[in-house]
Amino acid sequence: MFNTLLAVFIGGGVGSVSRWYISLKLNPTSSLIPIGTLVVNLTGALIIGLMIALFNRMTQWDPVWKMLLTTGLCGGLTTFSTFSLEVVYMLQDGRFGAALLNIALNLIGSIAMTMLGFMLVSWYSAH
């Protein structure tokens, strides 16, 4: 139990510091949508798709690694709360098109990236 707790703690720390840094650097580069938030959400979605697909195939791997990489790293890296807040700010500013674009890119994009992660592992395993 302690190993799992420590793994989630470490993964979450790395993920959330990475999210902060990526958003700090990328969000100012676009006035349309918060690019940093989109990048961390898409990246986290791809990572979790890859990791779950790998762990489903590699059942001998220690489950602590799964918790570090999925619950910890991906949980810390991705952010639904910041995404939601940014959409609310866009709506309050009357930027309805940007809000809709942001919603579509984050939600559809994240699902697509998770699927891509599964597909990449499947493709790689077949070759």
Q: Which residues are annotated as part of the binding site?
A: 75, 78
Annotated binding residues for Na(+): 75, 78
* Helix/strand/coil (H/E/C) assignment for every residue in 7-56: HHHHHHHHHHHHHHHHHHHHHHHCCCCCHHHHHHHHHHHHHHHHHHHHHH
Give the tokens for residue 36.
């940093």
Give the tokens for residue 116.
């891509």
